[in-house]
Amino acid sequence: MGSINPAHAPQFVVIGAGSRGNAYARAVEASTSGAIAAVAEIDPFKRKEFGQRYIWGRESTPQQHQSFAGWEEWIEWETHRRRDADAAGNNEFGYIPVTGVFICTLDESHAPIIRALAPLNLHILCEKPLAISLSDCLSISSALSEYPPKVVSIGHVLHYSPHNILLRKLLTSDKVIGEIVSIEHTEPIGWWHFSHSYVRGNWRRATPEGVGSLLTKSGHDIDFILWLLCSPSALTGDRPHLPSTISSTGAITHFRRARKPKKAGPSTTNCLSCPAEPDCIYSAKKIYRDRWLRKEKDTGWPLKIVVPEIEDIVQRQGWNSAEERLLKRLGEDYDKTQTSDEEIASRSWYGRCVYESDNNVVDDQTVTLSWEEDPLPGSEEGRGPKTAVFHMTYPTQSQCERRGRIYGSLGEITYDSHTITVHSFESGETTIHDIPKQDPEVEKSHGGGDWGLAGAFVQAAQNVDGGSMDVIQAQRELVGCDLAEIILSHAVVFAAEEARRERKVVHWAQWWAKNGQNAVA
């Protein structure tokens, strides 16, 4: 296998050219020393558009090693390239070997892709979730362990925003409120955003194991809480302080047939033909056409998710043609009695009535984590009993702008997506930390988290391949976690979902010993 020539920028393949693939490519291009070398994407339009933006340019055509119609095709090509190069004893045509991969495909494909990638021994950044079941997470660990260690990162972007980096520093290094006693953390998803992604979109169905929106939307937040309370820090020490019990409740409170307006009638299934549409806030015409196309004139997310080629249509044919194409897509529908469930599940239906969809993921959920006292030798702080309550809910004005309150032995902190407010019991003073405004392009990418994540991954890969860091050091100091910690974070989500479905309290130590501890030890 070839090694990276230090004279060249580290090269990365992006598998999946959707919104997340584009977000990471922008971050790599704008804020790192890396370069995007190739794209693997099944959709020809997305593949071409991505390649023109980040790889071969508008006026050129892709070379053989730059464009692939799926991850299987790229892995096959790369495997043959290495075999042929080894046989010839040289690097044909001066090709710069790829050093890492960004995996940005649908959730259920992550585990098969990583297992197939393992023999190539590349650095890997996988969009969250790592996998949709604990067994798949553990199979990833097993597959990667058979080869020399490489950097592994996950799309938990909350670790990397300037806001959250400061928050964790105030809590764990500066200890501004002493020992943490409890946390209340909320993710307000946004009323129409939930309908877009979790009722009509790709994440509307739970996995075969019954895991749903807590993993696909709020896995970020469970991981964020564990990052503050469990991960090694100046407050908790090097040994993780793991929770003792996990419980959860949740339900589909709104997006079900019982909530359908009577005016809509029992047979209406699509917004474009619904008599209740003018009065319905979930009207697809109101959300996608009236707001985003006509008022905002924004062809990015979410319109680009509904019609991937809409920006190109606007540029080439104008706004009227784009609206015509959008309405045609919104008018697409299915009949449950004539369309197979497999076909229904295979794609999104953005004009579908939100009360007649095939969604089964909860729209309001609470998770409670509790910790027992577990003191470190010679220390009297940092590992006392504590509780974290997480609330995910859909009917909010704010869209994914997390907020919370943290109670400590010496004070309390409140935070939203823009400020952190610290109150000291001793002095009675309240200090407000305003996070400096970033470039709008950076700010809209999870408060800078996308750029921080991509930058940390690229730097970690470069340092490991350049010999200035080993993998363990790069994982801890740059990526901020390792694969075992990533899997632990996912496991807490799976345990919480089990607690919700079975209406029980999960005792973590017993659950983990039974389900996963030995596999990642």
Q: Is 118 left (phi over 0), alpha (psi -120 to 50) or beta?
A: alpha
263-308 pLDDT, tens per residue? 999 999 999 999 999 999 999 999 999 999 999 999 999 999 999 9
- What is the token pair recorded at 242? 């793991």
Q: What share of the chain is helix, strand, coil (3-state, %, to 5)?
A: 45, 15, 40
Whether the pLDDT of residue 377 is over 80: the answer is: no
Task: Give percent above pLDDT 90 in the chain.
Answer: 82
Helix or strand (DSSP H, E) at 228: helix 219-229
The whole-model pTM stands at 0.93
- Amino acid of residue 366: T
Task: Report residue 437's pLDDT band, with 50, 70 and 90 as the boundaries.
Answer: confident
Task: Give me the residue label for tokens 């030995």.
Answer: 518
d(CA 484, CA 138): 9
Burial class (CB in 10 A: 0-12, 13-18, 19+), 251: exposed
* Of 301 and 91, more confident: 301
| Helix segments in 17-89, DSSP class H | 19-31, 44-54, 71-88
d(CA 410, CA 391): 25
Whether the pLDDT of residue 204 is over 80: the answer is: yes
For position 521, what pLDDT does the model report? 47
- Amino acid of residue 349: W
The domain locations on the chain are 11-156+450-480, 179-254+360-409+485-520, 267-345
For position 296, what pLDDT does the model report? 95
From 84-93, 116-125, 398-407, 464-473, the region with the lowest mean pLDDT? 84-93
Contacts of 131 (CB under 8 A, 6+ apart): 107, 110, 111, 137, 139, 140, 490
Task: Give me the residue label for tokens 């790369």.
Answer: 78
The CATH code belonging to domain 179-254+360-409+485-520 is: 3.30.360.10
Whether the pLDDT of residue 396 is over 50: the answer is: yes
Q: Average pLDDT in the 173-198 region?
A: 96
CATH number for domain 11-156+450-480, candidates 1.10.240.10, 3.55.40.10, 3.40.50.720, 3.40.228.10? 3.40.50.720
Instruction: Calculate the CA 144 to chain-centre distance.
Output: 21
Q: Average pLDDT in the 134-158 region?
A: 96
335-344 pLDDT, tens per residue? 999 999 999 9
Whether the pLDDT of residue 520 is over 60: the answer is: no
Contacts of 20 (CB under 8 A, 6+ apart): 104, 127, 155
Task: Report residue 7's pLDDT band, with 50, 70 and 90 as the boundaries.
Answer: very low
Contacts of 447 (CB under 8 A, 6+ apart): 161, 162, 163, 164, 417, 435, 438
Q: Average pLDDT in the 482-490 region?
A: 94
| Helix segments in 256-368, DSSP class H | 284, 303-306, 310-317, 319-330, 341-345
What does the mean pLDDT of the chain come to? 92
Residues in a beta bridge with 187: 392
Q: How far is CA 432 from CA 127, 146, 286, in A?
A: 33, 49, 39
From 92-96, 246-250, 252-256, 450-454, the region with the lowest mean pLDDT? 92-96
Task: Report residue 438's pLDDT band, with 50, 70 and 90 as the boundaries.
Answer: low
For position 506, what pLDDT does the model report? 98
Residues 254, 258, 262, 266, Cα dihedral to 10°: 120
- What is the token pair recorded at 245? 């019990």
- What is the token pair recorded at 170? 């105030």
Task: Give percent above pLDDT 70 in the chain.
Answer: 93
d(CA 428, CA 498): 43
